[in-house]
Amino acid sequence: MGVLINVPAEEGGFKLGEKISDFNPVDVIPLGPGICQSERGAAVVRFNKDWSGFKDAMAFENHFKASHRGKKDWNERVGDGSGMFYGWIARDDDYNSKDIVGHHLQKHGELRTISDVTKEESKETGKIVAILANQIEVKNKYLQDLEFRYNVTALSLNRIMEEKDKLHQAYNEGMSTKLH
């Protein structure tokens, strides 16, 4: 999740979402005044919970850093007179803060490290691999069964063809002796 601070009170989630649409937010939740010393407020930006969402969140944060409107800039600011809002990726200090942003993150978010996400993804990948391996094993058994039935049918067909050939040959020999 991302954090937007110094957001004008009249900015709704949809309007904010349009302004940061380049970063593919899933949702923008305005939290209202209470974090700034003015009538300005905050918002939480949700991104996808996968690597593409992480990439979008990093681009979001880097955009604000490059514009000198990142978290460090917010903490070092002198007054709110700029009218610009600040943004960054929510981290543990935001999650554990006692303000409106912290409360929202604790209620609706989950604090995870990249290592946690990687472990979780590896566990999911392992489960998927196990499921796929099981499906392959089932299909191989089915294929072996089909191959066995094919071989039985082919052998039976060969026997029938041999019998037909013998009967045909016997018939032809019987007919040739009748004619002579």
Per the DSSP assignment, residues forming a β-bridge with 78 are none
- Residue ranges for the chain with pLDDT beneath 50: none
Q: What percent of the chain has pLDDT over 70?
A: 89
The pLDDT, as a whole number, for residue 33 is 63
The pLDDT, as a whole number, for residue 119 is 87
Cα separation, 166 vs 22, whole angstroms: 81
| Closest alpha carbon to 63 in 101, 21, 120 | 21
C-alpha to C-alpha distances, 124 to 18, 55, 76, 111, 175, nearest whole angstrom:
34, 20, 42, 19, 75
Q: How much is the pTM?
A: 0.64
